[in-house]
């Protein structure tokens, strides 16, 4: 699902208008230009009911908006929130899709503090989502 989610976020106009193609699985490459988005898996769950597995997987994703200014990080995070308001659709490249059922924002963490009092560095907004999907 991470591969499909990265593909989807890259194709979302509000995000690509800010970061171009700089949406990365896990970590950004060393020296990557700001701003960019990273997508990491922070957990996984399978639901069971009285008949066994319900057919849905649930993955938790940390989606970080990394930027050099507070405004740019907040604007990028807002676009991620807009992109993640999706449900009951297929995401991913043709031939590599997953059936997404729902997304739930379960946490937000902002890191805007630069501890050395400089204006250099990154501002980060991390959104954690629970993404429910059917196995392809």
Structure confidence at residue 117 (pLDDT): 52
> How far, in whole angstroms, is CA 41 from its chain's centroid?
9
Among 13, 10, 88, residue whose Cα is nearest residue 56? 88
Structure confidence at residue 76 (pLDDT): 96
Structure confidence at residue 96 (pLDDT): 79
Q: Which of 3-12, 17-26, 95-104 has the lowest mean pLDDT?
A: 95-104
Structure confidence at residue 54 (pLDDT): 67
Q: Which of 43-47, 77-81, 101-105, 112-116 has the lowest mean pLDDT?
A: 112-116
Predicted confidence (pLDDT) per residue in 9-41, tens digit:
999 999 999 999 999 998 999 989 999 999 999
Structure confidence at residue 49 (pLDDT): 67
Among 85, 68, 66, residue whose Cα is nearest residue 77? 66
The whole-angstrom separation of Cα 18 and Cα 34 is: 10
Structure confidence at residue 55 (pLDDT): 73
- Where does the pLDDT of residue 118 fall: very low under 50, low under 70, confident under 90, or very high at 90 and above? low
- Strands 36-49 and 23-25, by their bridges, are parallel
Predicted confidence (pLDDT) per residue in 34-89, tens digit:
999 999 999 887 766 666 666 788 899 999 999 988 889 999 999 999 999 988 88
Q: Please give the domain boundaries of the chain with CATH numbers for all domains.
A: 2-134 (3.30.2000.30)
């Amino acid at each position: 699902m991470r591969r499909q989610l990265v593909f989807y976020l890259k194709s979302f106009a509000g995000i690509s208008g800010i970061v171009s193609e700089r949406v990365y699985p896990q970590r950004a490459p060393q020296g990557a230009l700001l701003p960019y988005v990273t997508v990491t898996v922070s957990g996984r769950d399978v639901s069971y009911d009285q008949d066994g597995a319900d057919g849905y997987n649930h993955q938790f994703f940390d989606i970080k908006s990394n930027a050099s200014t507070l405004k740019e990080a907040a604007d990028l995070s807002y676009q991620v929130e807009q992109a993640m308001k999706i449900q009951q659709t297929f995401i991913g490249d043709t031939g590599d899709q997953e059936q997404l059922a729902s997304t739930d924002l379960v946490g937000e963490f902002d890191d805007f503090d630069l501890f050395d009092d400089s204006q250099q560095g990154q501002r980060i907004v991390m959104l954690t989502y629970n993404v429910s999907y059917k196995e392809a």
